[in-house]
Chain A
């Protein structure tokens, strides 16, 4: 398909691999964090680590929305569906994520809760129109990429006067998470020499919000597309900056990302949402100004207000290293449960459930066998 096949071309990849090998300086370490799970996935699926010189490695970041959702929020969603008997709709990624006590949305559904999978916020709206006697709650999750579609749905619900639609909002913001990772010092932190910046998040927010990365932390950042050639090209751009002692925001993904981003989407998001004072991220803890809630003007469509729930303190799965993996401090192979108790068929943690999770990427593409080198 156009814009996919040409960015997977093997001959061009070979050239880029040679260029990277020639560019790296011996004796220097290049530890590059790819923020997005989409990049982690591309890196392993196409065997990019095997094409890299020994002194360059990828550190996996927290950019997997399902993985960073704290278990407490998932417990609340399950409680909301069970106690208020609403119809809870969400994207498929979330269905099998383990909540406290070995539960999940899927087990709640099996137990009689009305949990439904939707592909789009449009499907959730259509459900609310079709079943006016049911309260339909959309369990919203995702980074800046996925937030505008939720905003569109809320605006439509308001315009139509739909009284049986509301949103349980878990949308989070990328820049505060990047800041938290860069600010963390050892032993909680990880040394990072450059960052592969988000692809599709950046189509929405543009390249400007990353300016603090070089300014405050002196770290270069290159926004990269999700195809393997994009990852390699951005890697080369990072190596060149590191060699030159520079730190700038560069944009490799110019075919979809501009400096200003998508103004229409940003305006919608600003109208419908407001920033929360703080929000909990799995692995990163409570981060200030890092998530969105419904704005006051949309408070009546806020499921948190319409259907309040109290839940007991969340329980993390014992032995699951997701929190450290999300900070880039550990690798999936460092987890004792990886590949034994925890596999994609029997996932114990979110990082194994989601296709954007690092554990799933290691498992699916068999790279864990060469983990000493590949990670």
Chain B
């Protein structure tokens, strides 16, 4: 129930209260009642029909860089198993 999915804003209604977002190939109309200062092109976390928060592109990059770096620091590389989608 707490799941929220990143979606990209493609249009904002003139009222400023609703936006159209895309999730992969799906377009959806969502409420903007819980966020401020969003613009077309921004990514937001979508939760039960509402944009819950913005996703920061810079922070996402930084986190990914930290993850990669953490993996590189540990030498020597061994044959650790990789994650598999068990579904």
Chain A positions near chain B (C-beta within 8 angstroms): 1-4, 6-8, 10-19, 21-23, 36-38, 44-48, 50-51, 63-66, 91, 93, 119-123, 141-143, 145-146, 148-149, 152, 198-201, 203-204, 225-226, 228-230, 232-233, 236, 252-257, 262, 264-265, 268, 354, 356, 364-367
CB of A264 within 8 A of CB of B4, answer: no
Expressed in whole angstroms, the Cα–Cα distance for A297 and B62 within the complex equals: 44
Take A200-B2, A252-B63 as given contacts and tell me if A15 and B71 are in contact as well, using a CB distance cutoff of 8 Å: yes
- A235 vs chain B, min Cβ distance (A): 11
Complex Cα gap A4–B85 (Å): 14
Pair B35/A254 contact, Cβ less than 8 Å:
no
* Docked complex Cα distance between A139 and B26 (Å): 28
Q: In whole angstroms, what is the CA distance A119 to B29 when docked?
A: 12
The answer, yes or no, to whether B14 is at the interface (CB within 8 Å) is no
Minimum C-beta distance from B78 to chain A (A):
6
Report whether B70 and A201 are in contact in the complex, using a CB–CB cutoff of 8 Å. no
A212 to B50, CA, bound (A): 30
Q: List 29 A-B contacts (CB under 8 A).
A: A1-B6, A2-B43, A3-B6, A3-B55, A22-B74, A45-B87, A51-B80, A51-B81, A65-B1, A93-B1, A120-B49, A120-B50, A123-B49, A145-B2, A145-B52, A146-B2, A200-B2, A200-B4, A203-B4, A204-B52, A228-B83, A229-B67, A232-B67, A252-B63, A255-B59, A255-B60, A262-B34, A262-B53, A356-B2
- Minimum Cβ distance to chain A for residue B74 (Å): 4
Q: CB distance A15 to B82 under 8 Å? A: no
Query: Whose C-beta in chain A lies nearest to the C-beta of B7?
Result: A1
A119 touches B4 (CB 8 A): no
- B55 surroundings in chain A (CB, below 8 A): 3, 255-256
A105 CA to B68 CA, complexed, in Å:
47
Interface centre among A6, A15, A120, A225 (most CB of B within 10 A): A15
A16-B1 contact given A152-B33, A265-B34, CB 8 Å threshold: no
Decide if A143 touches B83 in the complex (CB within 8 Å): no
- A232 to nearest B CB, angstroms? 8
Q: Does the CB pair B47–A145 fall under 8 Å? A: yes
Q: How far is the CA of A268 from the CA of B32 in the complex (A)?
A: 13
Asked whether B47 lies within 8 Å of A15 as measured between CB atoms, the reply is no
Q: Do residues A149 and B2 form an inter-chain contact, with CB atoms below 8 A?
A: no
Give bound CA distance, A367 to B84, whole Å: 12
CB-based nearest B residue for A65: B1
Q: Knowing that A45-B85, A262-B52 are A-B contacts, what are 5 other residue pairs whose CB atoms are under 8 Å apart, sorted by A's residue number?
A: A10-B83, A21-B78, A148-B34, A254-B62, A265-B52
Instruction: Check A19/B43 contact, CB under 8 A, given A3-B60, A146-B2.
Output: no
